[in-house]
Structure 1
Amino acid sequence: MDIHAYLQRLHYQGPLEPTLQTLQALHTAHMLAVPFENLSLHYHQPIVLQEEALYEKVVKRRRGGFCYELNGLFAVLLRALGFDVTMVSASMAHSADEFGPEIDHPTLLVHLAEDWLADVGNGDSFRSPLRLQVDLEHIEGEQAYRLQRNHPYWIMQKRTAAGLWETEYRFTLQPHSLSDFIERCHYYQTSPESHFTHNRICSLAMPTGRITLKDLRLITTIHGNKEERILSSEEDFLNTLAERFGVVL
């Protein structure tokens, strides 16, 4: 992997030493530069969970991806820079006490003086890593996140606009490799029960909000204020992808 090219893809020019400062800066840069998107599923482009294929897509073709791709490739970058990284598996929350399969969403633990949760593949989520500590509130503008503990699980929560804590996912500290998620990745690409097969999605964090394209709905949120616009055509959809997200299919 060409680390320099990957860093250029992230518009990153900061320090490279494996420190907390570097981890935080890289994580934020990734969220601001590489969109969360499922477009490959809708354009007959199979997703291959191998380093070379992910690098070709995200860095060379300047695309985004969903969780397996983005966290899988980010782990490769961090390790290449000297970070100690463990991939773990999260179960996405369906309700406060109902969760999906154990092998569902890959997320990353980065081991420094303390352990940090990194996740650049969960769409509208934290932009800077969370310290693995119970009840420590992580504030990002209008958003807040925290971790809870219910042995053997760690639980990642996000505070809603109403001030309530809503569970996003739970995970254990059991190590996994990206190949462990191949079956689940195939499910999300092909199953009619997969929400990813129902709509095209491309979403990218911005310094003061987020921009999301869901089929022909363009949703822009700035400082918590949401605006929606319906695009006029498929041509408008493709032009918006290129102009607003830097994605060319």
Structure 2
Amino acid sequence: MFDVDEYLAVLGCDERPAADLESLRFLHKRHLMTIPYDSSWNAERGISIWRDVDIDVDAVFEAVVRGGRGGNCYELNGLFRALLDELGFRTAVLSAGIRQVDGTFGPDLEHVFNRVELAGRSWLVDVGFVGPSYVEPLLLSGDEQIQCGSRFRITEQDGYHVVERKGRTADWSPVYRFRPTPRQFHEWSGDQPALVEFAERLVGAGTVIRGRAFETGQMVLIGRRYLHVDDGAEAVRVLVDQDEHDRVVRTILRAES
């Protein structure tokens, strides 16, 4: 069963925090540092990756928080949303299309994340994205925001809001695009042609994606392509050696430190 106090303890919080921005920032970053993203669990779902977007909170809590496995976007953000609701935050479900390697964006319902309203301001809350991206809540604003050496901004393009990131040396690059209007779970019901086609490409590629944040950055492993971002500085390598690849996987999944 979903247990707020046990969840908080896993995130390193000994008591229930207030529903304020300081607590949201702490919990958000701790979640990304503590519970990894791991798409390997999508393989058994086949083209029905988005079948359970409205998660069974108790079952996912048992598998992820208590059982220690990683999760995908809607599992991790669904659990975090349930935690925030219990703590008194005002949340809503958002969706996004992630920027692809070829520069296009995935379907609008591809990625599931959250919005939190605090003191009349909207914050993007996303603990289910592999990165590189924001590790603390991002204010829904056109202002530049700095986190762990990277700059973030939200622009408006073609009717969408676009989260953009800039590292220490690279130029601005889109992370994903979204509409700020809250989503309803029934929007994912049935066979959505755009999602089915997208899932077929993902399943066909067979690429496993894993990631975890650390205090000053993020580790992202897409297949054998390893991206390490520390204080805004990026290093990319292809892990040809199997032993090295396995060590990185274990580090991300925390099978070993």
TM-score, with length taken from structure 1? 0.80
2:163 corresponds to 1:145: no
- Specify whether residues 247 and 68 from structure 1 end up closer, same or farther in structure 2 by C-alpha distance, changes over 3 A only: farther
2:115 corresponds to 1:106: no
Aligned pairs for 1:154-233 within 5 A: 154-178=161-185, 180-181=187-188, 191-194=199-202, 198-215=206-223, 220-223=228-231, 224=233, 226=235, 228=237, 229-232=239-242
Aligned equivalent of 1:91, options 97, 105, 124: 97
Partner secondary structure for residue 201 of structure 2: coil
Partner secondary structure for residue 109 of structure 2: coil
Q: CA deviation at 1:148?
A: 1.4
- Specify whether residues 197 and 35 from structure 1 end up closer, same or farther in structure 2 by C-alpha distance, changes over 3 A only: farther
Q: CA deviation at 1:91?
A: 2.0
- Give 1:54's aligned residue: 60
Q: Is the 8 A contact 1:51 1:73 kept in 2?
A: yes
Structure 2 unmatched ranges of 5 or more: none
Partner secondary structure for residue 6 of structure 1: helix
Aligned pairs, how many?
243
- How far apart are the structure 2 equivalents of 1:196 and 1:3? 38
Aligned equivalent of 1:63, options 61, 69, 74: 69
Partner secondary structure for residue 193 of structure 1: helix
Partner secondary structure for residue 65 of structure 1: coil
- Give 2:22's aligned residue: 21
* Letter of the 1:80 counterpart: E
* Letter of the 1:123 counterpart: V
- How far apart are the structure 2 equivalents of 1:145 and 1:17? 26
Partner secondary structure for residue 58 of structure 2: helix
- Specify whether residues 149 and 219 from structure 1 end up closer, same or farther in structure 2 by C-alpha distance, changes over 3 A only: closer
- Relative to structure 2, which stretch is displaced further, 121-130 or 151-160? 151-160
2:126 corresponds to 1:119: yes
Q: Is the 8 A contact 2:130 2:211 kept in 1?
A: yes
Q: CA RMSD in A?
A: 3.4
Partner secondary structure for residue 62 of structure 1: coil
- How far apart are the structure 1 equivalents of 2:169 and 2:228? 20
Q: Is the 8 A contact 1:14 1:22 kept in 2?
A: no
TM-score, with length taken from structure 2? 0.78
- How far apart are the structure 2 equivalents of 1:213 and 1:170? 22
- Specify whether residues 179 and 40 from structure 1 end up closer, same or farther in structure 2 by C-alpha distance, changes over 3 A only: farther
- How far apart are the structure 1 equivalents of 2:25 and 2:74? 20
Q: Could you report, residue by residue, the CA deviation over 1:94-126 in whole angstroms, capped at 9, with x for unpaired residues?
A: 489843322221121100111111111111210
> Identity of aligned pairs, percent?
27
